[in-house]
A and B are shown apart, each in its own frame.
Chain A
Amino acid sequence: MRDNTYDILIIGGGVIGSSVARELSRYRLRIGVLEKELDVACGNSCRNTGMLHAGFTYKPGSLKAECAVEGNREFDQVAQELDIPFKRTGKVVVGFSDEDMQNILRFKRIGELNGVRGLEMIDKAKLNQIDNSAGGEFALYSPDSGILNPMLYNIALAENAHQNGVDFFFDSEVKAIKRQGEHFQVTAGDSVFSSRWIVNCAGMHCVTISEMLGLHGHQVKGFKGEYYVLDKKASQFMNIPVYPAPNAKGGFSTHATPTVDGNILVGPDSYITEDPDDFASTRDHMQGLVKDGSAIFKHMKAEYFIRNFAGTRWKRVDPETGDVLDFLIENRDDHPGVVNLIGIESPGLTCALPIARRVVAKIQEKEVLEVNNDFNPYRKGIVRFAEQSKERKKELIATDPDYGEIVCRCETVTRAEIVQAINNPLGAVTLTGIKNRTRACMGRCQGGYCETRITALIQEQCKVREHEVMYQHKGSGMFIGKVREVLDGE
Chain B
Amino acid sequence: MENKDVIIIGGGPAGLAAAVQLYKLGITNILILEREKHLGGILRQCIHDGFGLQRFGESLSGPEYAQRFIDEVRELNIPYMTEVTVTEVTAGRKVTAISRRGVMEFQAKAVALTMGCRERTRGAISIPGTRPAGVYTAGVAQSYMNLANIMPGQEVVILGSGDIGLIMARRLTLEGAHVKAVFEVQPYPSGLPRNIEQCLNDYGIPLFLSHTVVDVKGHSRLEGVTVAQVDEQYRPIPGTEQEYNCDTLILSVGLIPENELSLGAGLTLDSRTKGAVVDEDYQTSCTGIFAAGNVLQVHDLVDFVSIEAERMALSIQECFLSSQFGNAEIEIVVDASISYSVPQKTTGKKDFTLSLRPKRPGRNCTVFVKQENVTIARKKFAKVLPAEMIQLAIPAERIDPEKKLEITLI
Contact = CB atoms under 8 A, between A and B. Distances in A.
A479 B119 contact: no
Contacts of B151: 466, 479-483
When A and B form their complex, which 8 residue pairs have the shortest distance between CB atoms, in order from nearest?
A: A471-B133, A475-B220, A307-B123, A476-B220, A404-B100, A401-B100, A406-B85, A476-B133
Interface string A449-485: 1011001100000000010001111111111111110
A439 to B, nearest CB: 15
A445 B136 CA distance: 12
Contacts of A483: 145, 149-151, 175
Given A283-B128, A452-B144, A477-B221, 11 more contacts: A229-B123, A283-B215, A390-B103, A393-B103, A404-B98, A409-B35, A445-B119, A473-B220, A474-B220, A479-B153, A482-B149
Interface stretch (A28-36, A163-171, A274-282): A274-282
A286 B219 contact: no
Interface string A270-311: 000000010111110010000000000000001001111100
A394 interface: yes
Contacts of B331: none
A470 B220 CA distance: 9
B180 interface: no
B120 to A, nearest CB: 9
Nearest to B135: A471
Interface of B: 35, 83, 85, 87, 96, 98-103, 118-119, 121-124, 126, 128-134, 137, 139-140, 143-145, 147-154, 175, 214-216, 219-221, 236, 247, 260, 263
18 contacts: A279-B130, A279-B131, A283-B214, A286-B128, A306-B123, A307-B122, A390-B96, A405-B83, A445-B119, A448-B137, A451-B140, A474-B220, A476-B133, A476-B221, A477-B221, A479-B152, A483-B145, A483-B175
A456 B133 contact: no
A13 to B, nearest CB: 18
Contacts of A447: 140
A410 B115 CA distance: 13
B173 to A, nearest CB: 13
A405 B83 CA distance: 7
B119 A281 contact: no
A487 interface: no
Nearest to B87: A412
A448 B144 CA distance: 11
A480 B32 CA distance: 37
Contacts of B143: 452
A397 interface: yes
Given A452-B148, A486-B149, A281 B129 contact: yes
A448 B118 contact: yes
A446 interface: yes
Contacts of A448: 118-119, 121, 137, 139-140
Given A448-B140, A451-B140, A404 B131 contact: no
Given A401-B100, A476-B132, A306 B150 contact: no
A397 B100 contact: yes
B220 to A, nearest CB: 4
Interface string A109-151: 0000000000000000000000000000000000000000000
Given A456-B148, A470-B133, A474-B220, A306 B140 contact: no
A458 B137 CA distance: 20
A409 B145 CA distance: 22
B126 A446 contact: no
Contacts of B247: 480
Interface string A223-244: 0000001000100000000000
B259 to A, nearest CB: 11
B98 A397 contact: yes
A305 B124 contact: yes
Contacts of A445: 118-119, 121
A449 B152 CA distance: 16
A478 B132 CA distance: 9
A433 B65 CA distance: 39
Contacts of B131: 279, 309
A451 B154 CA distance: 20
* Residue in A282, A390, A397, A404 whose Cβ sees the most chain B Cβ within 10 Å: A404
A248 interface: no
A337 to B, nearest CB: 33
A446 B149 contact: no
Contacts of B145: 483
Interface in A391-438: 393-394, 397-398, 401-402, 404-406, 409-410, 412
A279 B123 CA distance: 15
**Chain A CB within 10 Å, residue with most, of B101, B140, B147:** B140
A309 B149 CA distance: 31
Contacts of A397: 98, 100-103
A306 B126 contact: no
B50 to A, nearest CB: 21
A281 B139 CA distance: 25
A482 B236 CA distance: 37
Contacts of B152: 478-480
Contacts of A412: 87
Nearest to B132: A476
A278 to B, nearest CB: 9
B132 A471 contact: yes
Contacts of A281: 128-129
Given A412-B87, A470-B133, A305 B123 contact: yes
A339 to B, nearest CB: 30
Nearest to B221: A476
Interface centre among B101, B124, B147, B175 (most CB of A within 10 A): B124
Nearest to B214: A283
B144 A479 contact: yes
Contacts of A452: 140, 143-144, 147-148
Nearest to B105: A390
A38 to B, nearest CB: 10
Contacts of A401: 100-101
A154 to B, nearest CB: 19
A480 B246 CA distance: 13
Nearest to A482: B149
B84 to A, nearest CB: 9
A237 to B, nearest CB: 15
B102 to A, nearest CB: 5
Contacts of B99: 404-405
Contacts of B102: 394, 397-398, 404
Contacts of A451: 140
A455 B152 CA distance: 12
Contacts of A482: 149-151
Nearest to A443: B260
A302 B274 CA distance: 14
B133 A306 contact: no
Contacts of B101: 397, 401, 404
A283 B126 CA distance: 8
B124 A302 contact: yes
A394 B103 contact: yes
A110 to B, nearest CB: 37
Contacts of A456: 148
B245 to A, nearest CB: 15
B231 to A, nearest CB: 15
Interface string A77-120: 00000000000000000000000000000000000000000000
A151 B118 CA distance: 27
